[in-house]
Amino acid sequence: MKILVINCGSSSLKYQLIDMANEKVMAKGAIERIGLKINGGEENVIVKTDDGKFTFDKELMTHTDAFNEVKFILTESEYKVLNSFDEIDAIGHRIVQGGDIYTKSVLVTPEVVDNVNYLAPLAPLHNSAELKGYEACLEVVGPDVPQVFVFDTAFHSTMPPKAYMYALPYEYYEKYSVRRYGFHGTSHKFVSHRVADKMGKDIKDLKIITCHLGNGSSIAAVEHGKVVDTSMGFTPLDGFMMGTRSGGVDPSAVTYIMKKEGLTPEEMDTILNKKSGVEAISGISSDDRDICAAQNDGNERAILAHEMQAYEIAKFIGSYVAAMNGVDAIVFTGGIGENGVWLRSKICSYLGYLGVYINEALNQKTQKGAEAELTEETDKVRVFILATDEELMIAKDTQNIVLDLNK
């Protein structure tokens, strides 16, 4: 079975074609700057093959135009991997917000589309764009190719009310569905199951803390295969400091700044989401590689940004150890989780009370997609670096739903 995985933004479309017979990626790439004028040199069409990365310019004004370009790349271009688009058995879409409605991946129907559109106010930058991707696929391939929605929030739907409710007037939960949802669920699901496999144990027998660390970051407490708590909340802004996001901040500090600066809610939202976090504290960049370089040069604000980030993450790990009354494994994944040598080391330095003492030499050399266990098999709490694969997780869910459909 060949599954095409689609991840759409408001002006972008990322794709990955996976042959599920061997879980091999046949092709992947992205279309950027959808709907924008191309003057030349933007290199908005990206194709990645075994031979390398190739880019070129092409003005594509709609998501349908972009998806037709993907079809051309896969079936007719010099990078073609298919003789016909009919070889694609199903399409899986990443959908950020499933709300209270969807606790697992689903086959797309008109009712599902209506519900995802209804949930769009909870993720205004994501759900509407992702629906555009679905509609583009539908227009190009027609209704006979099954399409599946895989929700970022679904894996976190097992959280109990004591973890997902906010101590706000209850009517806001009833009227506006204001509660903790959590995000990066596809990644947390993938690595929690993967670490159980690595340990040779049933996930139902384990307590796992998964740390998805990137420009956007979150941590999840996975007890016996089910999420009991996670750091992101109503939106992906909550939790600990990230590349440009503040993470948790005293709400009174927010309203105080708004009054002092005369800011609108929209302006404050932009500050919290796009002008805070590591970039704001360091004054340099949101890119962890830049922060590491500045830290090595002795830049005090870069050092502070990294120290704050490690401290906040360690606190979340500690709180989830308490929530689960123990932990068997801690996993680092995501761009920074897989490459952030200093950050991993600093976080683990706070975990001595758990008996965590990592192999520093191994930590230093584990980067760029490499995987490792930083502890010993006999240790009570084991620490792993694992590469996440959200696209493969989406493809697996899509395959399972299509197979059930054909029974």
In the chain, the domains with their CATH numbers are: 2-151 (3.30.420.40), 201-390 (3.30.420.40)
- At residue 125, the pLDDT reads 75
Alpha-carbon distances of 97 from 122, 160, 201, 399, rounded to whole Å: 7, 18, 31, 21
Q: Decide: residue 54, CB within 10 A, 0-12 exposed, 13-18 middle, 19+ buried.
A: middle
Alpha-carbon distances of 341 from 44, 148, 295, rounded to whole Å: 32, 37, 13
- Element spanning 331, H or E: strand 329-333
The arrangement of strands across the sheet holding 329-333 comes to: 226-230, 218-223, 207-212, 329-333, 382-385, 372-373
- At residue 251, the pLDDT reads 97
In DSSP terms, which residues pair with 329 in a beta bridge? 208, 382
| pTM attached to this predicted model | 0.92
- At residue 383, the pLDDT reads 98
Amino acid at 398: T
Structure tokens belonging to residue 71: 């079809």
In sequence order, which residues have a C-beta less than 8 Å from that of residue 368 and are 6 or more positions away?
A: 338, 339
Cα separation, 180 vs 163, whole angstroms: 8
| Maximum Cα interatomic distance, the chain, rounded to a whole number of Å | 62
Q: Which residues of the chain have pLDDT under 50?
A: none
> Could you count the other beta carbons within 10 Å of the beta carbon of residue 280?
19
- At residue 126, the pLDDT reads 85
383 near 358, Cβ under 8 Å? yes
Cα separation, 140 vs 138, whole angstroms: 5
- At residue 10, the pLDDT reads 83
Structure tokens belonging to residue 406: 């054909």
Residues identified as active-site: 152
